[in-house]
Amino acid sequence: MSKQYQQDNLIGQSNALLEVLEHVSKVAPLSKPVLIIGERGTGKELIAERLHYLSARWDQSFIKLNCSSLSENLLESELFGHESGAFTGAKGKHEGRFERADGGTLFLDELANTSGLIQEKLLRVIEYGEFERVGGSKTVQSDVRLICAANEDLPALAETGEFRADLLDRLAFDVITLPPLRSRTEDIMPLAEHFAISMARQLGLEYFGGFGAIAIEQLMMHDWPGNIRELKNVVERSVYREGSEGQEIDHIILDPFASPYRPLSRIKTRERQVRPVEPVMDKPELDVGKNETTIVQNSLEFPINFKEYTENAEVTLLQRALAEGQYNQKKTADLLGLSYHQLRGILKKYNLLDKS
Ligand SMILES: Nc1ncnc2c1ncn2[C@@H]1O[C@H](COP(=O)(O)OP(=O)(O)OP(=O)(O)O)[C@@H](O)[C@H]1O
Ligand SMILES: [Mg+2]
């Protein structure tokens, strides 16, 4: 993979992202460990790759390992390798990731929950550049640039003793924190277009017909808890379900589970009984689990433009109800406790009439 390819692959023009990219370019050439912190789906793996391809090690191996998916024993032998017969089933010598990444970069993802034993061995390998394979006594040398990622607050874990503070110090020569998508909303549409175009290409469409006004509003108003990965899924799903040759995407299918036949969640119903009023969130979310319609909200930031906010809330509510009612206006009106004519009046006000 060339440096150019990497550059083209990373979409975004927000200041928050540009600052991160500048930071990445600065620290990439050093052979020091770097820690990447960010919520799920913010692009940690992509940034780790970029650090590698912008370093002098770019033509050597870039080896990855997700530490959360393996038991302690397996993780130990995956990282450091094992000698023949080291444990039951250990047939033949096995080279660990540290050996395979020699001269290159090792990316350890989801490092936060590794055991004390693994953390101790990591500390040693960082400190002395050497380790022993499981079941072996021979010391193996390895020159590896370590990049680690976590979506948890490692300093907090170090304070409570759940993560070794001395290891954290060594891993965190520098820390790159990736901003969540909701704090770089300028990146939403360029990313959405990028994912839509590549999905259209995969589907063999000649070109992508663009997003309609409602779809754009939906994309811009969503909170994106799953960040870029969620945006990618949502856009790809909408293009494949709604996009035909040259056709504009009118609606975004944010929730693939949305269906009038979806079973009610027992947990949700119980939660609501003990917690009648939720703190407030950036945008209202329609909770359709019960008979009465509840707007659940949390973490509002003032000042707020009341008119704009309530209008946005109404549009979101209408869109969700329309989707729930499968764009049948009679059904949608029933879902909202409105008459058919009342609903049409409101849809007209928001220019949603021809879209439903
Ligand atoms: N700036 C970007 N431009 C284009 N695609 C991006 C960008 N950032 C992330 N992606 C894409 O979003 C998806 C998620 O990115 P990635 O796997 O790097 O996130 P992550 O932080 O490692 O997620 P997780 O914590 O869930 O492992 C990938 O498909 C990646 O290619
Ligand atoms: Mg990842």
Strands 34-37 and 174-177: parallel
CA–CA separation, 200 vs 194, rounded Å?
10
- 147 and 35 in a single domain? The answer is yes
6: Cα within 13 Å, side-chain hemisphere: 19
pLDDT value, residue 210: 94
Q: Which atom of ligand 1 is nearest to the CA of 194?
A: 4
Position 265 in a domain: no
- 170 and 241 in a single domain? The answer is no
Choice from 9, 46, 189 to test ligand 1 binding pocket (greatest atom count within 8 A of CB): 46
Position 261 in a domain: no
pLDDT value, residue 87: 67
pLDDT value, residue 146: 96
Final residue belonging to a domain, choices 122, 157, 179? 179
- 239 and 309 in a single domain? The answer is no
The string of DSSP codes covering 135-171 is: T--SEEE---EEEEEESS-HHHHHHTTSS-HHHHHHH
- 51 and 198 in a single domain? The answer is no
- 78 and 113 in a single domain? The answer is yes
Domain count, the chain: 3
Amino acid at 44: K
Choice from 229, 232, 236 to test ligand 1 binding pocket (greatest atom count within 8 A of CB): 229
Q: How many Å lie between the centroid of ligand 2 and the Cα of residue 186?
A: 23
- 27 and 153 in a single domain? The answer is yes
pLDDT value, residue 281: 40
- 43 and 126 in a single domain? The answer is yes
- 349 and 299 in a single domain? The answer is yes
- 12 and 142 in a single domain? The answer is yes
- 308 and 344 in a single domain? The answer is yes
pLDDT value, residue 245: 75
CA–CA separation, 336 vs 315, rounded Å?
13
Position 251 in a domain: no
Handedness of CA 21, 23, 27, 32 (dihedral sign): negative
- 9 and 156 in a single domain? The answer is yes
3-state secondary structure of 175: strand
Using an 8 Å Cβ cutoff, are 109 and 64 in contact?
Answer: yes
Strands 105-109 and 130-132: unpaired
pLDDT value, residue 299: 56
Averaged over successive runs of 10 residues, the pLDDT of the chain (356 residues) comes to 52 95 96 95 96 96 94 92 74 87 96 91 91 89 95 92 94 95 96 95 90 94 96 94 82 83 60 39 41 45 79 85 86 89 85 68
pLDDT value, residue 294: 40
List the CATH number of the domain containing 42.
Answer: 3.40.50.300
- 18 and 155 in a single domain? The answer is yes
List the CATH number of the domain containing 231.
Answer: 1.10.8.60
Domain that holds residue 289: 270-355
